[in-house]
Amino acid sequence: MNCDYFDAGICRSCTLLETPYAVQLAQKQEEARSLLSPFGEVQWLQPLASNEESFRNKAKIVVGGSADQPTLGIIDRAGRGVDLRRCNLYDPAITAALPVLDELIRAASLTPYNIPKRKGELKNILVTVSANGELMIRFVLRSKKLIVPIRSRLHWLYERLPNLAVVSVNLLREHVALVEGPEEIILSERTTLPMQVNDLTLHLRPQSFFQTNTEIAAGLYRQGQEWVRQASPASLWDLYCGVGGFALHAAQVLPASSEVTGIELSSEAIESARRAVAEYRLANLEFLAGDATEFALQQATVPKMVVVNPPRRGIGHELATWIEESGIETFIYSSCNAKSLAKDLESMPSLKPVKARLVDMFPHTTHYETIVLLQRS
């Protein structure tokens, strides 16, 4: 992939861009294989490769410059805005929306937040696109001051972006290096963005997590679904379930008598997952909001199978120890950090990885996902 920003030294986020993609995959596979090698003989499946460009379904845009000359991209070390609106990683629908957002900033005088001076209001704009091209746009603000000018131009925004589904304002009041804050104000009539994945539609609310690469996420879920189908457990927990990707795919291939439970800390994500359950009338699937570790430790019975998809830090020693002592025979671990995965496996010596697959969610970087099937020895 060619990138003018990279060649000019403006953005180096794609650290492996100069490495041929086949070599990137081989290097990631070798690292994952090395990290899992102490835990036994693993059958490595063919890596799931991504498109090299236009694969990002979400743009986390830092707004810099001024209201009459905004930059949409990143901030350099001096706190100045660097415009990256033509980034080749973005889905074309995102790229097409950025000039409209530029025009909105100028017309509504949405003053960008100046990090060194700690002045201004508009910090970030988060744009997410679904597989059918619908958009969710979130304006991350310092305060509520700009809500009125944004709301007053919603009709104009919908005219310019007819594929726009959800618009919201997120409040990040503190001067901190975060993308978004805890408060969300939805301005549109619609509250969720339908995300088409395989033959399912998941529902994404503004503060719900969803993988950055829709096509690769679909492959990840298919792999987990196939392993669930082969095991055919009578009961399954999907811990750190997000909007329900693994649990919904599992429920599709399990008998109606099987019990599937999804656990996620975000109540927003759980609300989204429950909407999908209602739409597909899945009587054997339940979603609950709560901490995955606390939930597991509080249950009187254990399931036949567990799926986990934790954040980069992994599941941690406490949950890993509970799984080790639970007697669960089959376990699927979907990891975005193979190093924390390896650390968690140290706490589960009775569960041996038997199959694994590299899933390249993040081309041109050192990051990748690994999905592993473990069975009790």
Residue of 286, 201, 200 lying closest to 235 (CA atoms): 286
Q: Bridge-partner residues for 56, per DSSP?
A: 90
Residue of 3, 14, 241, 336 marked catalytic: 336
Query: How many CB atoms neighbour CB 255 within 10 A?
Result: 8
CA dist 121 and 111 (Å) reads: 6
Percent composition of the chain: helix, strand, coil (DSSP 3-state, to 5): 30, 30, 40
Q: Does 309 carry a binding-site annotation? A: yes
Q: Bridge-partner residues for 287, per DSSP?
A: 262
Alpha-helical segments (H) within 60-192: 92-108, 147-152, 154-160
Residue of 138, 60, 71 lying closest to 105 (CA atoms): 71
Here the contacts of 169-173 (C-beta below 8 Å, separation 24 or greater) are 169/138, 169/139, 169/140, 169/141, 169/144, 170/126, 170/138, 170/139, 170/140, 170/141, 170/206, 170/207, 171/140, 171/141, 171/142, 171/143, 171/144, 172/123, 172/124, 172/140, 172/141, 172/142, 173/142, 173/143
Half-sphere exposure of 35 (CA within 13 A, CB side): 20
Q: Does 264 carry a binding-site annotation? A: yes
Cβ neighbours for 297, distance < 8 A, ≥ 6 positions apart = 318, 322
Q: Is 336 a catalytic residue?
A: yes
Query: How many CB atoms neighbour CB 44 within 10 A?
Result: 15
198, with CB counted inside 10 A (0-12, 13-18, 19+), is middle
Q: Does 223 carry a binding-site annotation? A: no
Do 202 and 195 form a contact (C-beta atoms < 8 A)? yes
Q: Does 240 carry a binding-site annotation? A: yes
Catalytic positions: 336
Numbered residues of the known binding site: 211, 240, 264, 309
Binding residues for S-adenosyl-L-methionine: 211, 240, 264, 309
